[in-house]
Every structure is written in structure tokens, then in C-alpha cells.
Structure 1
């Protein structure tokens, strides 16, 4: 995941007063897995699908 997208996700979470845990629950993944995706430690096809879901939930382009 790009640093720009990482920053956008973190900023949007702060703006919505939402935690990583809450976002993970909405997406249907664990908090550690979400953290791995956002920090670029996971980049497979499934992780990319989750990124798209996260972007849709947070309305990020």
C-alpha cells in the first residue's frame, strides 16, 4: 500500500473518530491483519480486495 493511501486512511479514521478495530470489524478481518495491510506487509490479491473495501467504506479515492 502506498504511503499516501496509508495517510488518507489514518486521517479519515481520525476524522470519523473510528478505531482500527472498528474498521477491521466492518471489513470482516482481524485488527492485526488490517494493520499488516495498511503497513504494506500484506499485498496479495485478497489484501487488495480488502483495500478496495476499505476505500469504499471510508469514501477514499
Structure 2
């Protein structure tokens, strides 16, 4: 049985909005990286890895 109370709906919508925002941020970062590469400014792999690890840590901190 699927819960149908307002708290469940609010939590579901909050999570959906957070996921949509994260997807938008990720897509913007990808587009920025592609634009940099198109003009001859590639980003070092270690720099990219550090940025995404920092984002993952920030996301984990928000979940607590």
C-alpha cells in the first residue's frame, strides 16, 4: 500500500525538486566543460575529480 498523507507527498516533492536541481547543476557543469574544451581550454582530470568529490561531500553533508 502506498502512503497518501501530506507529509509523504511533501517529502516526495522535496526530493524530486532537489534531484531536478542537482541534475540542472550537473548539466550546467558539463556544458561549461564542453565550452572550455571547444575553445582549447581542457580541464585536468585531477581537477575535475576534485570538483565532483567536493560536490559529493557537500551533498552528503546536506543529507545529514
TM-score class normalised by the smaller sequence: 0.3 to 0.5
For normalisation by structure 1, the TM-score amounts to: 0.38
For normalisation by structure 2, the TM-score amounts to: 0.37
Instruction: Pick the structure with greater CA Rg.
Output: 2
Identify the structure with bigger relative contact order (alpha carbons < 8 Å, sequence gap 6+): 1
Pick the structure with more helix per residue. 2
